[in-house]
Each structure stands twice: as C-alpha cells, then as structure tokens.
Structure 1
Amino acid sequence: MSDTTLIGPVSKKLRQRLKIFLAAFNLPTYESGIAYLLSINEQFESMKLE
C-alpha cells in the first residue's frame, strides 16, 4: 500500500510532516491518523453546538 492511498499525491515535505505527526501521536497508519483527526473534529463540532 502506497503513502498516497487516502490523501492523493502529496509533496515529499508534507508527507514527512505527516509521518512525524503520526509518530508523535503513535498512530501507525494514515488511516488511523485521519480517523483520529476526524474524531477531534467531531468533538469540536459538538462542543460548538452546546
């Protein structure tokens, strides 16, 4: 599976930053990283509604 499965072609620099981000949060794959970001976004959206 290539690095560009979910997010399409990305620059090398951005891909490096994403790998660092995933490592920092101990997320093994892009899928779990994106799922994590989406869950944060959902929490934020629900906080705004209250």
Structure 2
Amino acid sequence: MKVNKPHVLPVLENGVLVGILSRAEVMKAVRPIYGERLNVVERELETA
C-alpha cells in the first residue's frame, strides 16, 4: 500500500482557514533546525 504525503497544508487560526502552505515551504522552514538531513525535492505541479 502506498502512502501519499500531503503537498498542500492548511493554515488555521481559531478553526478558520487563513491560508495554505506547500510541503516544500514547510521543509525549507525547518531546514535550519534539522540541517541537511532533510532532502527536499522540488518539482512543478502537473496540470491536467
């Protein structure tokens, strides 16, 4: 069974959607904490 990682994450404030973050943005933000142990693969979104 394949488990998919979310590529878009909701940002909530008091239960109300106030924005979204991409997984790549989150990974870039935590890179200073975890260093180069994180591997970020950036790719363009495919369109239908």
Asked if TM exceeds 0.5, the reply is: no
Structure holding more helix per residue: 1
What TM-score results when the alignment is normalised by the length of structure 2? 0.29
Structure holding more strand per residue: 2
